[in-house]
Structure 1
Amino acid sequence: MERAIVHMDLDTFFVSCERLKNSELEKKPVIIGGGDRGVVASCSYETRFFGVRSAMPIKMALRLCPEARVIKGDMDMYSKMSHMVTEVIQEKVPVLEKASIDEFYLDLSGMDKFFGCYQWTNEIVDAVTKNTGLPISFALSTNKTVAKIGTGESKPIGRLEIQEQNIKPFLNPLSIKKIPMVGNVTFQLLSRLGVRTIQTLSETPVEVLHQLIGKNGTELWKKANGIDDTPIVPYSERKSISTENTFSQDTIDVQNLRSVLSGMVEQLAFQLRQEKWLTSTISVKIRYSNFDTETKQCRIPYTSADHTLLKYVLELFKKVYTRRMRIRLIGIKFTGLVHGCHQMDLFEDTEELISLYQTMDKIKNRFGTGSVGRASGLLR
């Protein structure tokens, strides 16, 4: 049976959410970010015409497009809208993968005998826009790679079907940059060898690519030839990462407990960023010396930033620790995970803070997770 895989992507998601709040922003150049010293989290198509792009310093973006309106991001709103879209799609499809806060994969394989897959997808998209007011693009094909590339080519508000016999003609003339796993380093390496289009890449011997790039060379060759057997991973809010600390001696030292929590948050946040996750739900658990266990949780805007997570964790700890009794164990769990980029939620932060996170992560990767950290987490 031929697979029917759909990739859906909300068009300029953050900008579209802001335009729902303020219709005066329609068709105007808009930048979502955190002020003059921040970076561009998202931007409208009107600004992209001038060369503005995500992760660019806002000062540089405003030099390229002085007329742009800069709006501080509202991750709480974006998270709620993302959950709304997820619920609309989830009601209508057999298998859904939430790839990030604003993109989804659907497996409609076998649905053709009941209902045309393309028509079915159109109706889902219409339902999303009707229920949320957000514009969304999609592409339908036989695998995730071709569908994702197709969505990018169809935007904005695109609806595209790429049947199996049309995959090669569709991919061949495109730049290798369109392949999801091709970053700047790989692009520059292949460009120097004259490999700039997907057709040229698909005709390059796989052995040569393996020698140049390693094991990723084989995967890259497959994608260039429209081959991708990656399954759709069903979306589930149950995905989580967690950590617990059982003390050698029961403690009532609140300052030390807050220090331990700080270190635990830093450890989990680093893991989130390494695996490219954002969390939307935090749980804090304590176990008293008499083995009574209490838990508090709260839903938050998607994030993977230490300082944001720590603020919520300390608030939850204050709410859950209600007895003047010694504590035996303390734990933190992050759930409601979706794939996403660390910078996505840093609307209030500066380039310096973002660079600090990136530098600390590099140090931890090279020298170990304990090589650098917050002073508040080292008191323990």
Structure 2
Amino acid sequence: MERAIVHMDLDTFFVSCERLKNSELYGSPVIIGGGDRGVVASCSYEARYYGVRSAMPIKMALRLCPEAKVIKGDMEMYSQLSHTVTEIIEEQSPVVEKASIDEHYLDITGMDRFFGAYRWTEELAQRVTKETGLPISFALSVNKTVAKIGTGEAKPIGRKQIEANNVRPFLNPLSIRKIPMVGDSTFQLLSRIGIRQIHTLADMPVEVLQQMIGKNGLDLWKKANGIDSNPVQPYSERKSISTENTFSTDTIDLVKLRSIIGSMVEKLAYQLRTEQWLTSTVVIKLRYANFDTETRQCRVAYTSADHTLSCCALELFDKLYNRRMRIRLIGVRFTNLVRGSLQINLFEDTQEMVALYQAMDQIKTRFGYDKVNRAGGVKKLENPKYSKQENPEH
């Protein structure tokens, strides 16, 4: 049976959320971000007309579009509205995968036996907009890759159906940038040898492509040919991530303990960013030598930046540790996770800070986590025993 896969994407999600609060923003160029030295987290189509793009420095964006209204982001509101949309989709859809805070994949294979798949999807999109006020686009096709590209071509507030016999004709004239896994470096590499459109990439010998870009060459070639067998994974949110240290010898060394907390936070924050999570709650756990265990938590604006999370964790530790008794175990946990990335969340940080995190994460990913760390967290533990990160809670 031919698969029927839908990709649904909320149009300019952050901007649309802000317009629900302030109707005067409709029709105006809007930038979501923070501070003169911050970066653009999202922008309206009116701002994009002037060349404004996500991750662009705010100052540059305002030079391109001086009349744009800059609004600080509200991740808590965005996550609540995202959750509402997910509930509406899950209520009607047999299989749902939440790909990000504003994207969903649906597998509605077999729906045509009871109800036209395209008509059903259109009515679901209309219900989302009616109940939330948020505009949404979608594309229906035979797999996730083609559906996602189709949604991008359908925006804004678009509807598109790409049937199996029309997949190649639809993909062929598009830029290779439209393929989800093609980043700037891959685009530059391929464009240097004249590969700029998908049809050229699709007709290229797969062996040559693998020699050029490595093991991802086959996956890229398949996507260019409209081939994607990846299933829609049923949606289940992760609730928290955590790590703990149990000491071989109980300690009261405050300098050591604070250094350990900083290192633990940095490691967990890196995991948040690589898995594209944001957290709003930091929890510190202490177990004393007599096995008494205490925890304390605090709320923060949704983030995955370890410099923000470290400050919160250390403040919690200072408030929690008041017995002056030796400590046996210390733990850090991040809870209330939502999908999101560092670039769309650092509303108050500078583009230099964003670039620093990106550079550090690239080094860690390529050469190993311990190759670059903050100075406060480099102190080594004496025979540390790291617990495994807890399994996702559903």
Q: CA deviation at 1:205?
A: 1.6
In structure 2, what is the equivalent of residue 139 of structure 1? 139
Of 40-49 and 103-112, more deviation after overlay is shown by 103-112
Structure 2: stretches of 5+ with no match in the other structure: 381-394
Deviation at 1:38, TM superposition (A): 1.0
Q: Measure, in 1, the Cα distance between the counterparts of 2:32 and 2:9.
A: 18
Residue 284 to residue 159, structure 1, CA distance change in 2 (3 Å): farther
Contact 2:141/2:164, CA 8 A, preserved across alignment: yes
Q: Given the superposition, is the C-alpha separation of residues 257 and 316 from structure 1 closer, same or farther in structure 2, using an over 3 Å criterion?
A: same
RMSD value, Cα: 2.5
Matched with 1:360 is 360
Q: 1:290 to 1:117 in 2, by over 3 A?
A: farther
Shift in Å, 1:15: 0.8
Q: Which residue of 1 aligns with 2:153?
A: 153
| Deviation of the 1:318 alpha carbon | 6.2
Q: How far apart, CA to CA, are the structure 2 residues paired with 1:128 and 1:308?
A: 34
Aligned-residue sequence identity (percent) comes to 72
Cα deviation for residue 345 of structure 1 reads 0.6
Indicate the larger mover: 41-50 or 196-205. Answer: 196-205
Distance in structure 2 (CA, Å) of the matches to 1:128 and 1:320: 44
Question: In 1, are the aligned partners of 2:16 and 2:134 still within 8 Å (CA)?
Answer: yes
| 2-structure distance, mates of 1:75, 1:190 | 37
Shift of 1:366: 5.5
Shift of 1:315: 5.6
- Partner-residue secondary structure (3-state), 2:92: coil
Q: How does 1:42-57 map to 2 (within 5 A)?
A: 42-57=42-57
Letter in 1 for 2:206: V
- The answer to which of 279-288 and 135-144 deviates more is 279-288
- List gaps (5 residues or longer) in structure 1: none
Q: Could you tell which deviates more after superposition, 130-139 or 83-92?
A: 83-92
Compute the TM-score of the two structures, normalised by the length of structure 1.
Answer: 0.91
| Map of 2:331 onto structure 1 | 331
Give the letter for the 1:198 counterpart. I
Match of 1:306 in 2: 306
Residue identity matched to 2:177: K
TM-score by length of 2: 0.88
Does the 8 A contact of 2:39 with 2:58 survive in 1? yes
Provide, for residues 40-88 of structure 1, a one-character-per-residue CA deviation record: whole Å limited to 9, x for no partner. Answer: 1111100111111111111111111111111121222222222222222
Aligned to 1:11: 11
- Give the length in aligned residue pairs: 380
**Conserved? CA contact 2:6–2:107, under 8 Å:** yes
The equivalent residue for 1:342 is 342
Distance in 2 of aligned mates of 1:116 and 1:318? 60
User: Residue deviations 1:135-175, cap 9 Å, x none?
Assistant: 11111111110010011001011111211122112111111
Alignment partners' CA distance in 1, 2:136 and 2:116: 20
Match of residue 225 from structure 1: 225
Task: After TM superposition, give the deviation of residue 353 of structure 1 in Å.
Answer: 1.4
How much has 1:362 moved relative to structure 2?
Answer: 3.8
Matched, 1:191 2:191: yes
More displaced stretch, 105-114 vs 272-281:
272-281
Contact 2:6 2:147 in 1 (8 A): yes
Partner of residue 25, structure 1: 25
Structure 1 residues 82, 370: closer, same or farther in 2, change over 3 A?
Answer: same
Query: Is residue 174 of structure 2 the alignment partner of residue 202 of structure 1?
Result: no
Q: 2:170 matched to 1:176?
A: no
Deviates more, 1:274-283 or 1:263-272: 274-283
* 3-state DSSP of counterpart to 1:214: helix
Residue 266 (structure 2) aligns with: 266
Distance in 2 between residues matched to 1:152 and 1:359, nearest whole Å: 28
Alpha-carbon contact 1:262-1:310 (below 8 Å) kept: yes
Asked whether the 8 Å contact 2:79–2:338 carries over to 1, the reply is no
Cα displacement (A) at 1:280: 5.0
SS in 2 for 1:242: strand
C-alpha separation in 2, matches of 1:293 and 1:65: 55
